[in-house]
Structure 1
Amino acid sequence: MFHERYSCHFCGRFVLEVEGWAESTQPYHQILAPWDDEATFFGGASYHLACLRSFDRHAEVRREFLAWITVTRDTISLMGTDGLQHESTRTGLGFTERVAVLASGEIYESPRFDRWVFVESAGPFHILDLERAETLGRGERLRGNDGVHSQLLPADPGKRIEKWDLPALLDFLQIRDLYQGLLDDYAPNYRFFEGGHSRAGYVADYSLSAYIPLPDDVTTFFAGYLRDYVPKRLEDA
C-alpha cells in the first residue's frame, strides 16, 4: 500500500480530488485497514475510486467501510505497542437501516436525518442528502461538490498553472489517463484560484466538479422510494 500524502492508497499515483472520482478519508475516521501491513487505519488516505474498484482485496475495504458506516457507536479491538489487544470506542456514521439491495450495491438510510449512503459492490460509497436523492429520483445526473480544495502538488508548476485548463493540469501531474473517463463523458468544471509555496511545497487552491458515475439502478430506486417518503422532522432527530 502507498501512504504518501496525496498518493493513491492503491496505485501510488497522484490524487487530484474530485467528488465521485478521487477522494480522501479524514484522519479521525477510525476505519480499520486489515489489508494493510503498515497501517492500522484507513484514515487520512487518498484514493482513486476506480483503483479501489480494481483492488484485488476490495471486498475487505468494503467490509470495513460498512462496519463504520452502518453503526452509531461500536467497540473495536486494536493491537497496542505492548503487544496486547485493547478495546476502543468508535463513532460511526449511523446509517443503520438498509433500504435496498441492488445489483450494483446497497443503500442504507439514517434513522434520524434525510440522508442515505450508496455502497458499491466494488467498495466505494456515496453519501446523499434529500436534495441529491430527489435529483436522482427525477432521472437527472448528480454533479459532485464544487467547493475549493487546497492541495499540495508533487512539483512546482510556476505561474503557468494560472492559464492551464484541466487536461493541461492532468498532463503536468501525469495522471490524465486516470481521469480520461471524467474528461470524456462527465462534463468537468475546473477553476484555478491561487497557488503559492509552503514549507511542504507548492499548494494550489482550485475547484473541480463533475457528474458522479452512479449506476442506473440507484436512480430507479430513488424514483420509486421517494414517492411515498415522508421527510424526517428535526425535532424528532
Structure 2
Amino acid sequence: MNVRIEVVAIDCLMVRLFDVIDEANMPWMLAASLRLREGFGAHLIDLVPSYTTLMVHYDLLALDPQQARAVIAAALRHLSPDAGEGGRQHVLPVWYDASVGPELALLSRRSGLSVDEVIQRHSQREYQVFALGFAPGFAFMGLVEDVLAAPRIKTPRKRVAAGSVGIAERQTAAYPLESPGGWNILGRTPAKLFDRTLDGYSLMQPGDTVRFAPVSHAEFIRLGGDDTPLEALK
C-alpha cells in the first residue's frame, strides 16, 4: 500500500491507497474509512470510498488544508485491516432469461460456455461491492471470472429496466432504476436496490458482498418482478 494525498477541491482531498483494483484491497479500504471518520469527527462532511481511493470532504471553516492532511496522516498511521470487520451479505434473486437478458447468448458465444454454464458461473461467485456511482444505488461489484468478462456493448441502450443485472469488463452490477446503459444484460432482479428509507438510500454499500441466486419466472413474478422484455423498452 502506497498512500498518497491528492487535491480534489479547496475543501476536498483524495486519499489514494492502491493503484490496481483488487478484492484484497477492501479490508484496508474499510479500515481506512473507519479511521478517517473517527479522525475527522464532526468536521467530516462526506467520505466517498471507491476501488482504490477515499475522497474526504471536510469543513473548511474548522480545518485548513494543512490540518486536514495532518488528520489523514495520523488516522492512517499503523493502519491494519480488521479480520472481523466487513459489510453485510446480500443474496439477490435473479431471473436469467433472454427476454430480460439479451446478452446471455452473446456471452455464451464469447466464452464458449453454454447459456446454463454462463448463468452458473455468474451466480456461483460472491462479489465485493467496490463503489457506488452512475445512479443512486448502483453498486459496482467484482470481480467476475475472466471467461465472463466482456466489453460494454457498442451502442448503449436508451432504456435499461430497473433490476437489470449485467457485466462490463470484469465488473457486474444491477441497475437500481430505469436508465440508459451499455452493460451486457444477463437477467433481472426484483430486489429494491434504491430506497429512500435506507441509510444512504442504497441497499448495498462498499464493503458488502453479493451473490446472485437464479430463480424461476414464477418466483420472479411472486417476488414482484417486472418481466417486460428489455427490447420492448425503446
Q: TM-score, normalised by structure 1?
A: 0.24
